[in-house]
Amino acid sequence: MTHEQALVKTLDFQLDIQSDNEGLLKDAALESRWAYNETIRLAKQGVDWDAIPDRVADDANLVKNTTQRVVAKALGAMENYYEYDDFGQPSHTKDGTYPLRANYEEGYNLSLTDDGDVAFRISAKPYKHVKGALDGDDAHLDILKTALESDEWKIGTAEALFHNGNPELHVNVTNTEQTVRDKQDSRTVVGVDVNEDNVALTALSEDGVEDTLVIDFPELKFERHRYFTMRKRVQNAGKDSIHDTLEGREERFVRDRLHKVSRHIVEWSRQFEKPCIVFEDLKEMRDSIDYGTRMNRRLHHLPFRALQYYTSYKASFEGIPTTWIDPYKTSQRCPMCGHAERANRNKKRFNCKDCDHQDHSDRGASVTITVKGIKKHQDWNVPALNSLPVVRKVRRQASGAVDAPTVTHDAVRGYQTDGIVGVSD
């Protein structure tokens, strides 16, 4: 049976707040923290949960709808505790600010301005509003503007919060006419290994490996280093205005390349039967990186998550589900025999000392990601991997995917460079 889910997106924005009420949102977020902690306190005392929302709302200096949303979230946390944890009472208390949750056109409003910006108004406290404009990723803004002008999208609840001290608004929107297939109904799993200068893809079905591909984009690493060098020079010269201009140019360059590569990934995945795209969950990766000053700078600023996000939302518009797996040892594990302790990885060369399998290291990692994705989400078995197809490579440049073989330094024999036909930028 095929299951489909409505296309739901969470859009993240920074808040450009009018100067006359900058402190109001933080005061409300602190009041929201009190409402959350008070809900937990009353629940622990044995107060009837049905009575808690009104009791907290009567004492909280917040809009009643917002208070009820905060209380519901706190009670949800307590419910999860009672269902899954048998070891002592958790504290559940929160420090600092806590998100304000609100319904659209009740606790917050959005509107398009004559200049094409999106204005917001958040009911932070009774009869007191926080106003300003939204700032954020172009893709998020485009979706939100479409939602404001079309019945195709429905704007739902939102959370106003502080992230690293900066005010943000996270808005949930639902596409009423578009669905995304449930990932468990997929017939092909596409593993995506994101690296500093390429992405490696492997499509695996019950019949075996359907295809593999490595998309090179070495100019991204080169340009990021070039911009870093230029910014360092102008910063040393005390020319901060030029520094900011260069930073903006680099951001636009990187974003443009990531959009092109993510579109390429989705187009390639579409050719397979009921695909599901699988990524490594790299949220905690930066916390464990320590390879020296220069390498740390390069890796900490790599746009891994941005490329994954761009691919994910483009895939959702094609009805293709995406999911994430634990990245533990995906780069060290041999895709053929599965051993992870006796592999030798040297740049783009992978050599398993147990079964003597040699491979392009990133392609091998994408196979492992695919296998993990199947084991986590599918009810069909991982097919036997007796052999892998020849590694095909394309190189993305400013003009898109090249249509002729490119000069590459191959790490293992059997490489093939390839052009991609029918991929538009």
The pair phi, psi for residue 323, each rounded to 5°, is -155, 170
Q: Does residue 287 sit in the same domain as residue 399?
A: yes
Tell me, yes or no, whether 153 and 186 share the same domain.
Answer: no
Identify the domain boundary among 149, 178, 207. Answer: 178
Same structural domain for residues 161 and 281? no
In this structure, what token pair is assigned to residue 295?
């390498």
pLDDT class of 254 with cuts at 50, 70, 90: confident
Q: Are residues 172 and 186 in the same domain?
A: no
In a domain, 204, yes or no: yes
Which H, E and C letters describe 96-114, residue by residue?
A: CCCCEEECECCCEEEEECC
Q: What is the per-residue pLDDT across 317-334, written as a single tens digit (0 to 9) for each?
A: 888 999 999 988 888 888
Residue 274's region, left for phi above 0, alpha for psi from -120 to 50, else beta, is left
Give the whole-angstrom CA distance, residue 275 versus residue 285: 26
Does a structural domain hold residue 423? no
Residue 179 β-bridge partners:
6
Quick check: is 366 in a domain? yes
The pLDDT assigned to 342 comes to 60
Has residue 358 been placed in a domain?
yes
CB 191 within 8 A of CB 369: yes
Q: Tell which of 151, 178, 205 closes a domain.
A: 178
Average pLDDT estimate for 290-315: 66
Among 178, 213, 235, identify where a domain stops: 178
Number of domains within the chain: 2
Instruction: Give the confidence band of 302 by pLDDT, cuts at 50, 70, 90.
Output: low
Cross-sheet strand order for the sheet of 100-102: 100-102, 153-163, 166-181, 4-17, 128-135, 118-125, 108-112
Q: How far is CA 39 from CA 60, 71, 158, 366, in A?
A: 11, 6, 20, 45
Tokens of 163: 């992230």
Phi and psi at 363, nearest 5°, equal -60, -40
Lowest mean pLDDT among 93-102, 360-369, 393-402: 393-402
User: What's residue 151's pLDDT?
Assistant: 81
Judgement on whether residues 138 and 73 belong to the same structural domain of the protein: yes
Q: Is residue 369 part of a domain?
A: yes
Q: Which of 93-102, 129-138, 229-238, 311-320 has the lowest mean pLDDT?
A: 229-238
Which string of b and e fits 390-413 if b means at least 16 CB within 10 Å?
Answer: ebbbbbbeeeebbeeeeeeeebee
Q: Is 256 helix (H, G, I), strand (E, B) or coil?
A: helix
pLDDT at 80: 66
DSSP H or E stretch at residue 128: strand 128-135
In a domain, residue 55? The reply is yes
Give the residue, 216 or 138, on which the prediction is more confident: 216
Average pLDDT of every residue of the chain: 81
Mean pLDDT of 239-247: 61
Same domain for 117 and 155?
yes
Region 9-38: mean pLDDT is 90
Residue corresponding to tokens 């095929």? 2
User: Are β-strands 392-397 and 208-216 bridged in parallel, bridged antiparallel, or unpaired?
Assistant: parallel
pLDDT tens, 46-71? 899 999 999 999 999 998 889 998 99
Q: Is residue 417 classed as helix, strand or coil in its secondary structure? A: strand
**Full domain range(s) for residue 271:** 182-417
Residue 367 and residue 251 in one domain: yes
197 shares a domain with 334:
yes
Residue 175 tokens read as 């596409």
Instruction: Tell me whether residue 425 is in a domain.
Output: no
Mean pLDDT calculated for residue range 29-35: 94
Same domain flag for 112 and 211: no
* Position 422 pLDDT exceeds 50: no
Query: Helices (DSSP H) in 271-360: which residue ranges?
Result: 293-300, 304-316
Does residue 422 fall inside a structural domain? Answer: no
The yes-or-no verdict on residue 95 having pLDDT over 60 is yes
Mean pLDDT of 357-385: 92
Residue 162 sits in the same domain as residue 196 = no
More confident: 199 or 417: 199
In whole angstroms, what is the distance from residue 172 CA to residue 147 CA?
11
- Looking at mean pLDDT, say which of 75-79, 231-235, 237-241, 328-332 comes out highest: 328-332
184 CA to centre of own chain: 20
Residues 283 and 299 in one domain: yes
Q: Same domain for 332 and 225? A: yes
Q: Dihedrals φ, ψ of 355, to 5°?
A: -115, 0
